[in-house]
Amino acid sequence: MSTPDLDPEVVATPEPGAVETPPKESATRSRPLPARVWAQTQGKVGVVLTAAVVLVALAGPLLAPWLTGYSPTEFADRPFQSTGVFGTDNLGRSVGARFLAGGLLLLAYSVLATALGLVVGCTIGMIGGYAGGRTDSVIMRLNDIVLAFPQLVLALLAIVVLGPHGWVLVTVIGLTHAPRIARVARAATLGVVSEDYIRAAEMYAVPRTRILAREVLPNITGPLSVEAGLRLTYSIGAIASLSFLGLGMQPPAADWGLMINENRIALSVQPWGVILPVLAIAVLTIGTNLLADAVARATESTTVEAS
């Protein structure tokens, strides 16, 4: 794939037939991030897959009764019958309706958990990276201790103690993301702290919080957005897994992870109850992963490799 978007000549060349030449920007300035992501095949596929599932998840709850004729908790027939488009689930509810209604909470919780992880992780990582010295060592060793625990084990522990509430789920997944994000944020911060603009800001006695927020943060968004995409993928996986284990969304809520668990027993009789949510989760995680990859390539340097 050629990379016209990053070629200064192409950027600068006016389109054929254009009457006016737009004011010339800096020849080395690259296009905005979304354009660079979209320019890659991976990026396109990622965007399309993610958007498709997000659309289903967002619009599904509203469309479910209208499209399938049943609400997500209404009984359509006996369990595991082929009534309706996708048949019935383990309680005789419409699989179609529950599938449409089952993605919203998963998506919302995943995004919230990732956001929480980003905020906490960034703060810790930037402070560590910027402060350096003993502060850095203490923060990062504490960080390493948390990192040593497998994420799902910590989540299971918290949920068993605090109960399977939405906020517990979001908090625990978010907080277990934080140390991983903190590592990335710290590494990126270390890369910019010695830059001249930081020194300049320090010379002007700009408060440290302001330096972190105004000078450091905008300059580490590249690696952070990659990390955010990856963490979103993990959040989706973790929350769906917890639901599957019965520790996430509680019945009778419609939820993809829960649906897989409820209906897997009858995979051979009525596979839709498992296949639909599995496909949705798979497509969503692949989509966000590709997207994160594309973001990584778009931000890591000015050269985008052909793919």
Contact indicator for 125, 177 with CB cutoff of 8 Å: no
Phi-psi region of 25 (alpha: psi -120 to 50; beta: other; left: phi over 0): beta
Six-digit token string for 130: 């910027």
Residue placing its CB nearer to another protein in the complex, 48 or 269: 269
The reply to whether 266 sits near another protein by the rule CB under 8 A is yes
The reply to whether 267 sits near another protein by the rule CB under 8 A is yes
Smallest distance from the beta carbon of 154 to another protein, in angstroms? 14
Stretch that binds another protein, among 4-12, 94-102, 160-168, 184-192 (CB under 8 A): 160-168
Smallest distance from the beta carbon of 83 to another protein, in angstroms? 13
Six-digit token string for 227: 């990390």
Show the CA angle centred on residue 299, arms to residues 294 and 301, nearest 5°: 115
What is the separation of C-alpha 240 from the centre of its chain, rounded to a whole number of angstroms? 13
Stretch that binds another protein, among 15-23, 120-128, 228-236, 248-256 (CB under 8 A): 248-256
Site string for another protein, 45-74 (x = CB under 8 A): ----------------------------xx
Smallest distance from the beta carbon of 264 to another protein, in angstroms? 6
The reply to whether 214 sits near another protein by the rule CB under 8 A is no
Stretch that binds another protein, among 88-96, 106-114, 223-231, 291-299 (CB under 8 A): 88-96
Smallest distance from the beta carbon of 249 to another protein, in angstroms? 10
Smallest distance from the beta carbon of 110 to another protein, in angstroms? 21
Residue 78: is it exposed, middle or buried by C-beta count within 10 angstroms (0-12/13-18/19+)?
A: exposed
The reply to whether 278 sits near another protein by the rule CB under 8 A is no
Residue placing its CB nearer to another protein in the complex, 48 or 157: 157
Helices (H), 149-271: 151-162, 166-193, 196-203, 208-210, 217-219, 221-244, 256-263
**Residue whose pair of structure tokens reads 């054929």 in the numeric block:** 16
Six-digit token string for 11: 């950027």
Smallest distance from the beta carbon of 236 to another protein, in angstroms? 18
| Residue of the chain from 52, 58, 67, 91 that contacts another protein (CB under 8 A) | 91
The reply to whether 83 sits near another protein by the rule CB under 8 A is no
Q: Is the peptide bond before 32 cis (omega within 30 degrees of 0)?
A: no
Q: Which of 121, 124, 120 is nearest to 139 (CA)?
A: 124
How many Cα neighbours within 13 Å face the side chain of 183? 13
| Residue of the chain from 247, 280, 281, 292 that contacts another protein (CB under 8 A) | 247
Give the footprint of another protein on this chain (CB under 8 A).
Answer: 73-75, 78-80, 90-92, 156, 160, 163-164, 244-247, 250-252, 261, 264-269
